Amino acid sequence: MMSGMETRSNQDKVPFTLCVYCGSRPGRDPAHAALAREVGRWIGESGARLVYGGGHHGLMGVVADAALQAGAHVTGVIPQALVELEAAHGGCTELHVVANMHQRKHLMAERADAFLALPGGIGTFEELFEVWTWRQLGYHDKPIGLLNAGGYYDGLLAFLRSSVQAGFMGDWQMDLLRVSDRASELLPALALAARIGSPACLEQV
């Protein structure tokens, strides 16, 4: 039987895998693509792995390309119906073509140690809210991050706080979402939280 120290040592040798949710469009502001490149570059340079939606268009392609260029193992997961629409990324280390969105999200979540949402549209919102809901129900204890660079999510965060004030959410649910406008702080914080075990409430960075 391995001791606790040996178990932790073995776990530390397993690469940290970050699931990134982001837009299949680039957005109008070039800063969004720059942010995606920063995230992908950090994943590769830190020896981590990326799992994402498998597309080549928009921010999805930007983050994947940057991660690959920085030497990361990149796993893409895309439904058959979206292979042409989102242009499945042929350069992924692994590309899984699945039957539907449910399988896509399940496999991405299963492979991930933590989750990060970048700017995106309704698909990104839906993925973030689902994994956040799973977290509050105890289906997983993996940390969740929202990268709010440029204030893209300011309106959403204000609405969520109004939901707390209206009594439909609790502060503890908001505390499950780690929010920052700086990738340089949020990314290492997610990796650390995943390594030590995500606590019930995560401090804002």
Residue 201 has pLDDT above 50, yes or no: no
pLDDT of residue 12: 52
Residue 31 has pLDDT above 60, yes or no: yes
pLDDT of residue 196: 72
pLDDT per position as a tens digit, 39-52: 999 999 999 999 99
Q: Which domains are seen in the chain, by residue range?
A: 14-194 (3.40.50.450)
Which two three-digit tokens encode residue 74?
């990149």
Residue 199 has pLDDT above 60, yes or no: no
Determine the Cα–Cα distance for residues 32 and 8; give it in Å rounded to an integer.
36
Confidence of residue 200 (pLDDT cuts 50, 70, 90): very low
pLDDT per position as a tens digit, 146-182: 999 999 999 999 999 999 999 999 999 999 999 999 9
pLDDT per position as a tens digit, 49-85: 999 999 999 999 999 999 999 999 999 999 999 987 7
Q: Are 19 and 109 in contact (CB under 8 A)?
A: yes
Q: What percent of the chain has pLDDT over 90?
A: 83
Residue 11 has pLDDT above 50, yes or no: no
Calculate the average pLDDT of the chain: 89
pLDDT of residue 86: 73
Determine the Cα–Cα distance for residues 113 and 105; give it in Å rounded to an integer.
14
pTM, entire model: 0.88
